[in-house]
Amino acid sequence: MASAAAAASSAPTIWLTGQGLGGRSTRLPFHWRNKKMEQRKTGGRISAKFDLKPPPYPLNALEPHMSKDTLEFHWGKHHRAYVDNLNKQIVGTELGDGKSLEDVVIASYNKGDLLPAFNNAAQAWNHDFFWESMKPGGGGKPSGELLGLIERDFGSFEKFLEEFKAAAATQFGSGWAWLVYKANNRADVANAVNPLPSEKDKSLLVVKTPNAVNPLVWDYSPLLTIDVWEHAYYLDFQNRRPDYISVFMDKLVSWESVSKRLESAKAPAT
Amino acid sequence: MALRSLAIRKAIGLGKSVGLGLRGLQTVTLPDLPYDYSALEPAISGEIMQLHHQKHHQAYVTNYNKAVEQLFQALNKVDTSTVVQLQGAIKFNGGGHVNHSIFWKNLAPVHEGGGEPPHSSLGWAIDTHFGSLEALIQKMSAEGAALQGSGWVWLGLDTEFKRLVVETTANQDPLVTKAPTLVPLLGIDVWEHAYYLQYKNVKPDYLKNIWNVMNWKYASDVYQKECP
């Protein structure tokens, strides 16, 4: 892992190669909290324990759009349980040997034959990503390059909004809706590799996933997510998921986070 | 043989829609609860029962009827792509209607026998297959707690082998999707909407308390019909 040493510097766009499966490399942007990198930086023993990161704002900061109660339960109980249970599950196993959370997610996804730790690992990752997808005073429209790409790939911001909201509303049962950047070298078939990746293979997409699944497992770069498990909205909206989705887009989404993630996802040319 | 009957049907002008157009489309309706919304308290709050019945189950009914209407039209037009594409909505919403219709019947207020253990043949079958009622309850509660995402935990009867089983299904899949010979005796909804307002993230407490309002009489009746 030669890149880990380089990662200790402050260069913003270092690509880290995950251990992955069978030599497959996972390209991850620097700012996505590579746990292994952090551990090496401190020079200490690799303890392989994941922490529950707090949201980047106080628990009442999203009111009245998302209540403090919701944050207290959703982050304080649900997210915390995923992290605690993951730590218990991976201790003493290959998954707990200092891998990053992203690597644990990919490894436990196991090409679709889920290992027991997948649910907790993916949900731990998903919720970190979710809190960072929102901010107090959020909503509005994106700008700059992100808006340009949205208009290019969806026709207009309104059409993107429609598609994203529809995905979130029609994910049956528990799950997530995502805006992703598809820049992978893979053809649109599970394990095939695209031998001639070109600019037109890169685009923004809206996808939805069930339960704990996230687009990392398809080698997409997630840019934005909304949690549509009922626990995410039931206290504030009860059965009214479409209202929750509208409020999320109108008042909560942090387009700054999305733009930063797009930058990272695009940074190294393939 | 098939070609011949098709030719006959075309000849008498009935074409492809014979059988569907003549009978008309039946829709499903939201069944009434056999008790008040607050009648299952303190195990399940009246607030949850009302939302669960009037909003969630009603939505399954409404969306199932919509999907079936669209299916009907697609079948008449022989629009096979649309027929296939509608299967998801039919399974989700139809399953939701089937499952919840059973659920309301397998709960009962305490003063109407909710929580009273099963006797006669079902009681005996439970002891035989699981060792004791407590063992069955523990198994179902554990499977319900371990279920990730949304779904149901069932006590079912395998009508082929006359054997009791505990099964889980995902989302709104009815028990019959696990095996066509399975008949549901009891189902516990472990979608978060079934308990969240009252129990929040503590699903195990919901799974402990729901047994206080379990309608074993309904389960016994279904069992005795299949195993006379």
The mean per-residue pLDDT over the stretch B59-73 comes to: 97
Residue A139 is encoded by which pair of tokens?
Answer: 């909503």
Q: Which of B195, B189, B105 is nearest to B152 (CA)?
A: B189
Q: Note the pLDDT of residue B26.
A: 86
Q: Note the pLDDT of residue A4.
A: 41
Question: Does residue B170 register a pLDDT over 90?
Answer: yes
Q: Scanning every residue of chain B, which has its alpha carbon at the shortest distance from the alpha carbon of A74?
A: B201
* Amino acid at residue number A121: A
Percent of chain A with pLDDT over 90: 70
The answer, for A237 touching chain B at a CB cutoff of 8 Å, is no
Q: Note the pLDDT of residue B145.
A: 98
Substitution target in B58, B92, B196, B197 with the highest count of A β-carbons within 10 Å is: B196
Question: Does residue B91 register a pLDDT over 90?
Answer: yes
Beta strands in chain B (DSSP E): 151-158, 163-170, 182-189
DSSP state of A23: T
Minimum mean pLDDT among A169-178, B8-17, B75-84, B193-202: which range?
Answer: B8-17
Substitution target in B62, B147, B148, B193 with the highest count of A β-carbons within 10 Å is: B148
Residues of A in contact with B197 (CB under 8 A): 234-235, 238
Q: Note the pLDDT of residue A9.
A: 40
Residues of B in contact with A173 (CB under 8 A): 149-151, 170-172, 191
Minimum mean pLDDT among A60-64, A96-100, B85-89, B172-176: which range?
Answer: A96-100
Q: Note the pLDDT of residue A268.
A: 63
Residues of B in contact with A241 (CB under 8 A): none
Q: Find all residues with CB under 8 Å of B168, minimum gap 6, and list them.
A: B143, B144, B147, B151, B152, B153, B154
pTM of the model: 0.84
Q: Note the pLDDT of residue A13.
A: 40
Residues of B in contact with A239 (CB under 8 A): 51, 55-56, 59, 193
Subunit contact B197:A234, Cβ cutoff 8 A: yes
pLDDT in tens, A180-220: 999 765 554 555 666 666 666 789 999 999 999 999 999 89
Of B148, B172, B192, the CB nearest to A230: B192
Minimum mean pLDDT among A63-72, A189-198, B95-104, B202-211: which range?
Answer: A189-198
Residues of B in contact with A174 (CB under 8 A): 149-150, 192
CA of A158 vs chain B CAs: smallest distance (Å): 26
The interaxial angle of helices A80-90 and A118-131, nearest 10 deg, is: 140
The mean pLDDT of chain A is 84
Q: Note the pLDDT of residue B4.
A: 56
Subunit contact B192:A231, Cβ cutoff 8 A: yes
Burial A248-262 (b: 16+ CB within 10 A, else e): bbebbbbbebbbbbb
- The 10 Å Cβ neighbour count of residue A219 is 17
The answer, for A212 touching chain B at a CB cutoff of 8 Å, is yes
Confidence of residue A127 (pLDDT cuts 50, 70, 90): very high
Contact B220, B153 (CB under 8 A): no
Give one word for B58, left, alpha or beta, with left for phi > 0 and alpha for psi -120 to 50.
alpha
Q: Which of B59, B45, B155, B131 is nearest to B100 (CA)?
A: B59
Between CA B59 and CA B195 the distance in angstroms is 18
pLDDT in tens, A65-96: 999 999 999 999 999 999 999 999 999 999 99
